[in-house]
Structures are given as structure tokens and as C-alpha cells.
Amino acid sequence: MKAITVENQTSGGLSKKSQRWKVFKNQRFLYMMSIPFVIWVFIFQYLPLWGWTMAFQNYKPGKGFFSQKWVGFEHFQTLFKDDHFYLVLRNTLAMSFMGLVAGLVFPILFALLLNEVRVQVLKRFVQTVSYLPHFVSWVVAAGIVTKMLSTDGGVVNSVLMGLHLIDQPIQFMSKGHMFWGIVTGADVWKETGWNAIIYLAAISGIGPELYEAARVDGASRLKQIWHITLPGIRPTIIVLLIMSIGHLIGIGFEKQFLLGNHLVSDYSEVLDLYALNYGLSMGRYSFGTAISIFNSVISVILLFVANGMFKKFANESIM
Amino acid sequence: MEAAESATSAKRMRLTSKSPQDWIFDFIVYLLIGIITILTLYPFLNVLAISFNDSVDTVRGGITIYPREFTLENYKVIFSYSGLITGFKISVLRTLVGTLAGLVSGSMLAYTLARVDFQGRRFISTFLAITMYVSGGLIPGFILIKDLNLINTFAVYILPGLVSAFNIFVIRSFIDGIPYALQESAKLDGANDFTIYWRVILPLCKPALATVALFLAVGQWNSWFDTYLFNGSNEKLTTLQYELMKVLQSTMTNANNVRGENMSQLMAQVSPDSVKMAITIVATVPILIVYPFLQKYFVKGMTLGAVKS
């Protein structure tokens, strides 16, 4: 972003009005090619922000903006007094955090492992297979996860029974305390291969001469990973970690919606689902919007925290 | 470079014999890789096997990765369900239209943002980047769609997701890599900016377009929530993923929310499990056919997008 600004200032240095108009006329095609989409973005992305005013009203559909009843922070007070809200917040944070850690560790491990596969055909095959779950929808993935964990014919129960680790099949999908783990596991299964792409790219950028030198020094392959590969991808790891902190709370609700059921709802309900169930389905639009705003505010705070961390890291790496 | 590296390491292996340590290391690596591959593939093969297995036999359990009693009955049954046929058609249609519309609009906007001399560039870039981080949320979005009278229309599948900031930045960073001299010589030949975009830029950024097309197509094919939210009660606009979602949820929670008697009758004909697995395969296969061929493009696109952002 910074680079763009600088370039723009050098090219648009002439600030005379007539000069600007001339450029505008010269660039009319560029404007024609971009303005419709700017308007589009305004309507579909910015107008909903205006809808935030609903949180401070008793919004009734069909009434005009000025005939709505304004209630101030009433809906937020209701929200913060609601015990259920704290349960939902706990679920959101727990699953976000577990997702963050698993989403960082597993792709790195997988990339390191795949990098040690010297048979190129095999490496390519495994990599292609690893992308596969990323491309299926969460509907399909949730169906598959449920099937694998089911009590009749689910492979997980079969294997555990076969190993005599359990006597009775476990009802995974109806155990509340297992839900966070199941969601995180499903996420790992679906996205590890995909997220490893960037690490693999970073690893392939490490100069082979470093490994040669290490070999001459007699370093084992495990030592090479520890002293060359991992430090080599350290900047990538930090950038991706910071980016995922920025998106921490925006975990969505697809997984929770599709994998959850009424038996585990105390563990599966997240902020967006809460807004969906209590706001939209019950017609409490204003209350639901208040939940969305809370969600967005936390996201923005996290984004600034992440950005601050990024700047600090960027400075350190320059020094 | 990778090839060269592997060639040197191969040479090294021939020259110096592997130490026992190396053997153990290799053994563990290949063992883990094998386990991961099985963990990834087994569920798909299991679902595939069940979908082709006789439903009565399936109930006995023990199906692994091949059908014990092969049959096409499950597929015959699900394709006699009208909701699935409509869903399939609508899903194909939204994927085609959505991908094409997204490509044209995305590349056009990306081109204007890649033009260093474009006055509006800085404003539009920022305007667009903000949307990656701030969104109105579920309910304001729903109210907007309602106010625009887009509920119960096909357009609701295409319009809200038309301009995606991420895709645009992927295409733009690719255009940045195309020599500017090409555009200048086209300009000297009297081409206007649109002609340059259409005739010079578009043909050159096919790799980026392939990446974005894959993202768009996968997104369109896989989405179900917009159907659930906006067109759930319209049988003519239902999508395949939404139908699958209904079928999967229906017996998962034991609350039969599948619309009409049609589907529950089918489920009674063959077992619910067989129906679910067959629909899962129908909803998955089209994407699995496409993605391996686009692999080299999206790997590049992902890396490029990540480096830039």
C-alpha cells in the first residue's frame, strides 16, 4: 500500500485543476471500467455498515429509518446481562484459539515432512492428495466427519474397538466436551495440506548451499531441519501467525452449524450462530445486529494488535 | 532448482552410503507420510464404496474401501428425486455464471488498479482493501438483500460476491509483473485503455485468471448458506449443496426437516446412509475432476497472493 502512494504522488504531482480534468478525460476508460464496481462495493459492502444503526433502535421491518424507535444501548445491555452470551463467547474464543494453534503447527509439520520426501513422484502425489479436502464443501466435510465418527460402522470406533482401547462405541457427536476437539480435528483434516503450500514455497526458497555446508559439517537431517529449514521459514511463520491473529474471532459458523446438534449446543454455539438463532430466526433484528457489532469490534481490536505486532517484528527484522 | 537439488542429493546418496541414522529417518518420514495419505484418502474411498454398495448389505457394516455387493441402485434412487435434479442444474448454472461474471469484473478492476498513472487508483485500492476486514455482519446483510428485493431470485447467488478484494489483488499483482512497455506500444498504435485491457492484458494473465476462476468456481459450487438464508423455501432455486445439507441434517438430528414426502420415501427405499453417501459423491466429484489440472496455477497464485498481502 505504501509503495502505491509514493508512486501516485510522483505521477500526479501537477495539481492544477485544468491539468486534473485533462487527465480525467484521458483516463475516462479507466474510470468507466472501475466506477461501476466501486458503486457495487459501496452497495453490497458499505451499505450493510449503515445497518449497524439498527442495533440502537427497536428495528421493525417495513418502517422508514426516521420512524424507527431509538433505544440507545439497550440491546447491548441486554446482551451483556445474558448468561448465554458468555457461554457463546467462551465457545468462540476456545474454538478460535484451538484453530489458530492447530492451523499453525500442523501445516508447518506437514511441509517439513513433505520436504524430506526425496522421491519426486511420491511427493507430488501426496501433495495433490493433501489439497483434496480443501476443495470439498463444509457440508460434504461435515457429512464425512459425522460418518467416520458414527457408532454404526464409523471407522474411528471400529479401529478403537479393534485395538481394545474401548469396549463400547463412543457417541462422539453427542458429547459436548468433545465438540471443540472434533471441530478442530475436522479443520486440520480439511485445511492442513492447503495451508502448507506457502511453507513449502518458503522452504524451496532456501539456498541448497546451506544444506551442502551442513552436510560437510556432518549435521544429521533432523539437525538440518532444526538449524536451516525452520529458521529459513521463520519470517513466513511469523507473518502468517500475525495474519491469523487478525482473523481470530471471525471463525465463521459453518462448521459449528453443520457439525453441531441440540445435544452439544452448549459447546457448539458461536457468536455468528447466536446472531442467527436469536436475531434472525426470532426476528430480533436489533439484538442480532448488536451481536454482530460486538463481533466486529473485537475483530478490529485484534487486527490493530496484530498490526502493532507486525510493525514491531518488521522493525526488528530490519535491525 | 528443486530438480537440481534432488539430483545433487541423489548423487550424494550414491557416493556416500546411507548411515543407519538416515535409514531410520527415512523410514519414519515415509511412515508418517503414508499415515497422512491414508487419513486423507480413506474417508473419501469409504464414502465412495458405500455409495456403490447394496444398502441392505451396508447395514451389516464392515465396508472399507471397496463395495462388497456392487449396485447402482443408490444412484438410481437419488436421481429420481426432483430436488436433486433441480439442485444440480442450479449449482452448475451459478458456478458458470458466477465464475464468468467474477472473472470479467475482477480482471477489469484489477487492470485499472495496476495502472500506475490512474488517478483513482489509491482511493479505490483502499476502498476495496477495507472490505477485507470490516463487514456489516449477518443481519444487516440480510436486511440489505431483503430491501433490494433479491430474496427468492437467482441473482442473489451472483451479485453479493461479485467483487472480491482478495481475487482482485491476486490478478493485480500478476499484471504488475507484465512489462509496461507492451501497454505503451499498444497505446502508440492508437489503442484505448479498454482495448489494451481486452487485447493485451487479458490474454497475458491467463495463469492468474485460472487461479481466480478455480477459487470462484469452488466457492460457487460449495456454497449452501445463501440458499438456506435467501432461497430456502423456493424449490426452483435450490442448490445441490443445500439439498445435501438437508438430507444429512435430517437424520443426524432425527428431526425430519426434508421438504415433502419425496425424500423420506426414497430414504425408506434404500437406507438413509446409502442415500447420503451417494449424494455426497455427486456433490464432490465435479470439483475433484477439475482441481488436479489447475494445481500448478493455484499453487503459484496462492504464493503470489500471500507474498503481496
Share the mean pLDDT of chain A: 85
With 70 as the cut, is the pLDDT of residue A317 above it? no
Same domain, B65 and B96: no
User: Which of A63, A17, A74 is closest to A289 using CA atoms?
Assistant: A74
| C-alpha span between B43 and A132 (Å, rounded) | 11
pLDDT of residue B264: 64
Q: Is residue A71 part of a domain?
A: no
Quick: pLDDT tens for B15-58: 456 788 888 999 999 999 999 999 999 999 999 999 999 888 88
- Residue B58 burial by Cβ neighbours in a 10 Å radius (0-12, 13-18, 19+): buried
Q: Collect all residues of chain B within an 8 Å Cβ-Cβ radius of residue A11.
A: 116-117
Quick: pLDDT tens for B223-273: 999 999 999 888 889 999 998 998 888 754 444 444 444 566 666 677 788
Same domain, B165 and B264: yes
Position A144 confidence tier, pLDDT thresholds 50, 70, 90? very high
With 50 as the cut, is the pLDDT of residue A7 above it? no
Put simply, whether A15 touches B (Cβ < 8 Å) is no
Three-state SS annotation for A38-106: HHHHHHHHHHHHHHHHHHHEECCCCCCCCCCEECCCHHHHHHHHCHHHHHHHHHHHHHHHHHHHHHHHH
Same domain, A34 and A80: no
Measured at the CA of A317, the angle between CA B1 and CA B166, to 5 degrees, comes to 65
- Angstroms from B63 CA to nearest CA on chain A: 8
Same domain, B245 and B146: yes
Quick: pLDDT tens for A63-107: 777 778 888 888 899 889 988 999 999 999 899 889 999 999 999
| C-alpha span between A305 and A293 (Å, rounded) | 18
pLDDT of residue B305: 56
Same domain, B67 and B81: no
DSSP alpha helices (H): ranges in chain B? 2-15, 20-51, 55-59, 73-79, 82-114, 121-130, 138-147, 155-158, 165-176, 180-188, 193-195, 202-204, 206-222, 225-230, 240-252, 260-269, 272-290, 295-308
Residue with cell 455464471: B97
Same domain, B25 and B82: no
The model's pTM: 0.85
| C-alpha span between B264 and B247 (Å, rounded) | 9
Same domain, A126 and A267: yes
Percent of chain B with pLDDT over 70: 87
* Spatial contact of B243 and B83, defined as CB atoms under 8 Å apart: yes
Last residue of a domain, one of B13, B46, B71: B71
Quick: pLDDT tens for A185-237: 999 999 999 999 889 988 988 888 999 898 888 888 888 999 999 999 988 88
| C-alpha span between A96 and A49 (Å, rounded) | 24
Same domain, B116 and B11: no
Same domain, A39 and A176: no
Q: Is residue A186 part of a domain?
A: yes
DSSP alpha helices (H): ranges in chain A? 2-11, 17-26, 28-41, 47-50, 74-81, 83-115, 120-135, 138-148, 155-162, 179-204, 208-216, 221-224, 230-232, 234-246, 254-259, 265-268, 271-274, 285-318
Put simply, whether A312 touches B (Cβ < 8 Å) is no
Residue numbers of the domain that contains A93: 76-318
Please give the C-alpha separations between residue A230 and each of A92, A105, A169, B225, in angstroms, as whole numbers.
31, 12, 41, 39
Range of lowest pLDDT (A129-138, A203-212, A242-251, B139-148): A242-251
Q: Is residue A65 part of a domain?
A: no
Q: Is residue A26 part of a domain?
A: yes
How many domains does the structure of chain A reveal?
2
The CATH number of residue A288's host domain is 1.10.3720.10
Q: Is residue A57 part of a domain?
A: no
With 90 as the cut, is the pLDDT of residue A1 above it? no
- Angstroms from B217 CA to nearest CA on chain A: 10
Cβ–Cβ below 8 Å for A40 and B126: no
| C-alpha span between B224 and B210 (Å, rounded) | 23
Same domain, B35 and B179: no
Nearest chain A residue to B281, by CA = A140
Same domain, B58 and B90: no
| C-alpha span between A305 and A300 (Å, rounded) | 9
Quick: pLDDT tens for A236-285: 888 888 878 777 766 678 899 999 888 888 999 998 888 888 888 888 88
Same domain, A250 and A103: yes
How many domains does the structure of chain B reveal?
2
In the numeric block, which cell numbers belong to residue A37? 464496481
Same domain, B40 and B107: no
Same domain, A23 and A132: no
Last residue of a domain, one of B15, B36, B71: B71
Same domain, B106 and B252: yes
Last residue of a domain, one of B46, B71, B96: B71
What is the maximum span of chain B, computed from C-alpha positions, in angstroms? Answer: 75
Same domain, A22 and A105: no
| C-alpha span between B174 and B43 (Å, rounded) | 37
- Rg of chain B over Cα atoms, rounded to whole angstroms, equals 25
Instruction: Kindly provide the ipTM of the predicted complex, given to two decimals.
Output: 0.85
Q: Is residue A2 part of a domain?
A: no
Same domain, B228 and B145: yes
Q: Is residue A62 part of a domain?
A: no
φ/ψ of B254, rounded to 5, equals 60, 5
Quick: pLDDT tens for B72-127: 988 988 888 888 889 999 999 999 999 999 999 999 999 999 988 888 899 999 99
Residue numbers of the domain that contains B45: 2-71
The CATH number of residue B212's host domain is 1.10.3720.10
Same domain, A156 and A37: no
Cβ–Cβ below 8 Å for B133 and A30: no
